[in-house]
Amino acid sequence: MSLGPLEAAFIRLGEVLEEVRDAGHEIRLVDFGGGLGVPHGPGQPQPPTPEDYGAMVRRVANGWNARLIFEPGRLIVANAGVLLTRVIRIKPGARHPWIIVDAAMNDLMRPALYDAFHSIEAVAPNGATTIANVVGPVCESGDTFAMTREMDAVATGDLVIFRTAGAYGAAMSNGYNSRPLTPEVLVDSGSWALVRRRVEIDALAACEPPEWLA
């Protein structure tokens, strides 16, 4: 979210490049690694623009005489993906209601792994808001997406989206607790295609247990 640490790292990388070349090694490629960050929640600063990032790299790497490789990653795909889920039921809580959705920690691991923030919105908001806890149906204490979150008011059966799920969302999903992987749908304007099919429960059950344990 700031060019300062990146610029300091790239300056040091340039020094290492010179040291390695002085030692007699030929270096033709330099990988700058990950790129700019992505704001996930309200109040977070906007990251520098790709133009600002490129100008900094041009200034620091001028004269390196090497092909530069970039891994922009989240900057491109994070906000291009959402997780679509449905409200199973709403359970009263001591202070705030618990909104239970059919997505779980195995579908979007980031909140459970490092308390990542994902905006949660109703697909068809009615204008009302609420403060609620949003959790999945897996019996794990980590199956929590948001606590005390101000969000759109929803009811059982409503569709909800988790934003900024395009990076490290489907890639880290898994079949924990025999839950089939979430399918992925690629959308481009009015066109769409299923790019990862859901593995049906019968296919999962066919692999366990082996016949010799029957």
Residue 139: pLDDT over 90: no
98 plus 60 within the same structural domain: no
Domain that holds residue 37: 3-77
Total structural domains within the chain: 2
Residues 100 and 166 in one domain: yes
pLDDT for 207 beyond 80: no
The Cα angle at residue 131 between residues 153 and 177, in degrees rounded to 5? 85
Active site residue 207: no
Looking at the fold, whether 14 and 86 belong to one and the same domain comes out as: no
pTM, 2 dp: 0.84
User: In the listed set 77, 104, 132, which residue is the last one of a domain according to the structure?
Assistant: 77
CA distance 141 to 120: 20
Give yes or no: residues 137 and 173 share one domain. Answer: yes
Q: Catalytic one among 23, 94, 128, 139?
A: 139
Burial 152-165 (b: 16+ CB within 10 A, else e): bbbeeebebebbbb
Is residue 151 in some structural domain?
A: yes
β-pairing, 159-162 with 83-91?
antiparallel
* Position 79 pLDDT exceeds 80: yes
Q: Are residues 10 and 91 in the same domain?
A: no
CA 144 to chain centre: 15
